[in-house]
Every structure is written in C-alpha cells, then in structure tokens.
Amino acid sequence: MCGITGIYNFDKNRIVDELRLKKMTDIIRHRGPDREGYYINKNIGLGHRRLSIIDINTGDQPMFNDDKSIALVLNGEIYNYIELRDELIKLGYHFKTTSDTEVVIRAYEEWGIDCQNKFNGMWAFALWDDKKQQVFLSRDRIGEKPLNYAVFNNTLILSSEIKSLFEFGVPREIRPELIEIYLVLTNIPGPDTFYKNIYKLKPGHFIIANSQGIKEQKYWDLPEIDEGNMLCNKSAIYEQFTYLLEDSVKIRMRSDVPFGAFLSGGLDSSCIVALMSKISAHPVETFTIGFPFKEFDESYLANLVAEKFKTNHYLGTVNPSSLEDAINLSAFHFDEPFGDSSAIPMHQVSKFAERKVKMVLTGDGGDEVLSGYNSYAGIKFSNKYSQLPVIIQKAFPTGIDFLSKAFNGKIRYKLNHIVNVLETANYPFVQRIANKASFTPLPLIKNLTSNIKNIISIEDYLTDRVNKIPYKDDFYRLMYFNYKHNLPDDYLVKVDRMSMACSIETRAPFMDYRLIEYMVKVDKNIKLQGWERKSVLRNTIGKQLPNKLLKAPKKGFVIPLMTWFKDEYNFKLMKLENLKSICGLQFVEIIINNNTKGISNNGNFLWTMIMLDKLIKK
C-alpha cells in the first residue's frame, strides 16, 4: 500500500521538474511514511511513497527491470504474486526480490498490457516503457485503489490523490453543475471529479499515454448473465462460495508485518474473522470502534465474536467532541466533497488499529457480493405491494403520515421512513435509486440547487447510468449499479482515504474478482431466501457465529449526527456561508431548523452539506 505520482510531458524535449514531482509526492506522505523514491528520465517522472508490507528490505520503488527500460510505481497488493512468480520462473524469468512489484514488471515483460488479467489484487500503477516511449496506467477491476489524472499544459499528471495535482499547479476550478448529483449520492461519481479537467481512471480500465496523447480502454467488466438460467443449486453454491471466500482470506493474509482485522459486529466482518482464526496459527488481532449511544453501538456483538474465536480484541470509542476535527481531516483527505459520514468511525478505528498493526482485513464488499442491502428486499416488497388493490396502496401511507404528526423524535422518524417506503414502492427504477440514496426529500434538494446554472439533474445522471446496465431484472440491475457506483465512488473511497490517513493497509476478501464473477451468476432467490438477507453467507461461514449476532438487525457503520449537531459547540459548524452563496438561503435554514427541532433527522444531510461547504471554500 503506497502513494504514487507521475509527470509525463508529451513534448519529449521538456524535462520533468524534479521539485514539482517531489512536492506532489510529499503531500501524500501519509500513504507511505516508510520510504520515498523517484525516477526521472527526461520527459517522464515517477514518484513513490512506500508503506512496507511485503518484502520490506528489497521492495523499494520505483522498481526496474534488468536494463532499466521499464520503471514501475505501484499502489496496492497483488495477492497471487507467489503463484505468478512461480509461473514466470518456469517461463525463464529470474527475480532479485520477493516483492509483488517485481512480479508486475516481469508479467508485463511476458504478457504486455494483458498482464492485468493475470492479477488478483487491488492496485493502481504507472509503468514507463522506455523502448515504446509510453506510459501504461492501470486500475484494479473493482476500484479499491484510486488513480486521478489531468492533462494540463501539454502534460499528463497523475496521483493517488487529487491534492498532488494541485501541488503540480493544476487549477482548482470547481464544477457547481455536479452539486445536485453530490447532494443525492453524497459523492462525485467517477470518472468525474469536483474539478474541471481532473478525472478518475475508471475501475477495470487502463490508459496508454504517448506523444500522440492518451487513450483509455476497458480490460474487465462484470460477466454477462442469463437471467432465465441463473445458478440455483444451493449445495453447489454454498460449497463454491465457501471455497472462494476462504481462499480469498488466505491469500490476503500474506504479509511480512503484523496484521489483524476490523470487527464491526456485523455479519460480514465477523465471518472474515472466523475464517482468519481458522487459517492463522496465532490469535487474530481484532479492532472495534464503539459509540456512546446504545442504538448505534454494535461493540457488544463484536465482543461475542472475539470471545468465540479467542482473538486479541481492542475496543475504542467514537468521541463526539472531535466532530470539527473530523470535518477538517475529511476535507483534506478526500480532496472533493464526500458526504458519507461513516468516514468518521472508519478513521477512528484505523487510527486505533495503527498502534498495533500495519495491515487489516475487512468485511467491505459483503453487501455487494451477497446482495445484502435492504434495497434488495425493497425490490421484492415493491413487486408484492404493487399487486394490492390501488385503494389500499393509497390508504396505508396516508394513514401512517397522519399518525406521525402526533410524534417527534425517533417514533416520528420511523413512521416517516415507513411512509417513504410505501410511497416509493411503485416508483420507476431510477426514481427509487434516487430516493433511496438521498438523505432528504428530492424536492428540497431541487430547491437548494435551483439557482445553479447548467445543473445536471440527478434524474438525467441516473437515467444515463441505468440505461447502460446490461441486465434486465431490477434486482440484478441494482446489483450491477452497486458494483459500479456504490463501491468505487463511496465505500472503497471512504476505506482507502481514512485508512491511508493513518498509514494502515486494508484488504477486503469479499472483493476477490473470482468471488464476484461467481456470485453475480447466482439466482436472486438463493441470495435472498424469503426475507433473509445474505442467505448464502448465513448458511455457510455464518453458522459458526453467535446466534445473537445472526438475529441482530442491520445497522451499518452509522453515527448519531442529528444529536451531535444539536450540541451547542457543534451547532456553530452549520453556518454554511459558502453554500448559502450558491444555494437558496431559506432552504438551508429549513434543513438546519428541522434537525434542531426534531421534526426530521437531517444529521447525515447536514454532514453532506458541511463537506460541500468546506470544499467550496478551499
């Protein structure tokens, strides 16, 4: 796990500025505090910050082939590097190191750009081929590792984080037309960023850059499926799923430094710990972050898992007094508006774990692989609800809405949620996605953004994305959308930035591409048996877990923002002066006041707006 930077001048006669390259690399030191390295050869320059996990003594970067005609900087890990190394040795290659980085170089020498298809891992790399006079950029299939780039002043500039591009001198020109998309989805979906002329390399894609310019191409996608003939044999599915997940955990435990696991108390991370305990000869180090509010706290469930598998367990607590620091830290590390507030506990558990280990395994991606979100059950519910008489469909939400007005606080919020579920049950697919993603009613967001010129509506954006989905059934379409949007634009971004802020590497066994390609083909009724979420996991590795955990409702990595923003000290964080200058002042005030008075829970939406306000100011 590291940070990479690069400068490529399309004009061969323009020498790379060494000081600029160093500034770009220094500002992402947190991604790799152990070592730094540089390669400059006329119009090409590569920078690297190293977090040493594999081959500590001889794995420094940039790394070269024998005649130094190839130079490579790599961020991430190639988990099957041992198997690939053995294969390449049989083909006649010799190795000077035991690192996965050298395996990438040799694989490129043997298979060229097709080497990407041989890798099982998470990566973003930049490879200079001096003989071909070209830069080869690659990003892993799912998008675990980031790679940002810009073409500015006849130069290709690249980095793990956007802030490096600003250090080079790329202008910080924001794109207000993306604000509605951000306020609904809480992120700026790739390949766009919040800034003009700065882009994210898409997952499963690569770029070839030479004196003629750059060309981006796709090397991987989710497999085609036959929706009328999906995998339905339970016993065969359970057996193959168990094998693939266990092997994924096993190869992700390859490390030359101490490692452990994030244990949230949820089903996914608990199953990862169960498999690690089976494989490891020593007790697993597990780390949990708790909350001072009982309704958000799952630490007691994590403790049950720790006791069951005899782990060395460590428990920390999220501190609400750190909210202002969390805002400033998030603005620095995400570089662009990012409204997923679970970044706060992710950072704190990473900081907590960094005292003991340098690498952890996580349960991230389980909801995507297993189709475990409540929205999948929502699709099933919508199909059944739409079959009821129209008069009943209209009566239910009206009656519950009337009842909710007699309450404030938690009861009112829950009744409002039920009304929203019922009212949106018959919405078109795009509208359901938008309503599910948004923390506040869409009409209010429309009012907030009504003064922004050339605004891109969330409906237009989602319609364009959904129309490109090759699957037909709404269940499978949602599965595709979650893989292509939720993971690379939200959850994996959150985990990467917040763990790297603490110089700790995270590895997600559910993100093994073999497991993903297999589970995409499994029938929806096997994944969601009745109303049971994650049936495949529950009926395999999940059988080893405490019964209390299996029966616990899904909470997610959420924090009590509504309550925190009512605190007198934290209330001052909601001035939002920069946002008010762009959006409607009165509507911003409505959102703040409704949260303060307990009319609606706007805590998460306030966080989303604060992060936008912070980045507009910068």
Q: Which residues are catalytic?
A: 2
- How many whole angstroms separate alpha carbon 102 and alpha carbon 22? 24
Q: Smallest Cα–Cα separation from 507: which of 143, 253, 235?
A: 253
Question: Cα dist. 343→273, 403, 488, 604 in Å?
Answer: 22, 35, 15, 12
Return the SS3 of 529.
strand
Q: What secondary structure does DSSP assign to 113-160, as a single string?
A: GGGGGG--EEEEEEEEETTTTEEEEEE-SS--S--EEEEETTEEEEES
Q: Which of 55, 45, 46, 41 is nearest to 3 (CA)?
A: 46
Please report, for the chain, how many H helices and E strands are present, in that order.
Answer: 28, 17
Max Cα–Cα distance, the chain, nearest Å: 77
Task: Give the whole-angstrom CA distance, residue 469 versus residue 476.
Answer: 9
Q: Identify which of 143, 354, 365, 90 has the alpha carbon closest to the alpha carbon of residue 248.
A: 365
Three-state secondary structure along 29-68?
HHHCECEEEEEEECCEEEEEEECCCCCCCCCCCCEECCCC
**What is the 3-state secondary structure of 169-185?**
CCCCCECHHHHHHHHHH
Q: What is the DSSP letter of 192?
A: B
Tokens read off for 32? 């790799």
Print burial letters for 56-89: b (CB count within 10 Å at least 16), e (below 16).
eeebbbbbbbeeeebbbbbbbbbbbbeebbebbe
Q: What is the DSSP letter of 511?
A: G
Q: Measuring CA to CA, which residue among 327, 329, 333 is closest to residue 29?
A: 333
- Is the four-CA dihedral 137, 114, 514, 54 of positive or negative sign? negative
Nearest-5° Cα angle at 224, 221 to 230: 135
Nearest C-alpha neighbor of 504 from the set 255, 313, 142: 255
Dihedral through CA 217, CA 184, CA 524, CA 246, nearest 10?
70
Are the beta carbons of 182 and 605 closer than 8 angstroms? Answer: no
CA 347 from centre of chain: 14
CA distance 560 to 415: 19
Residue type at 110 in one-letter notation:
E
What 3-state DSSP class applies to 528?
Answer: coil
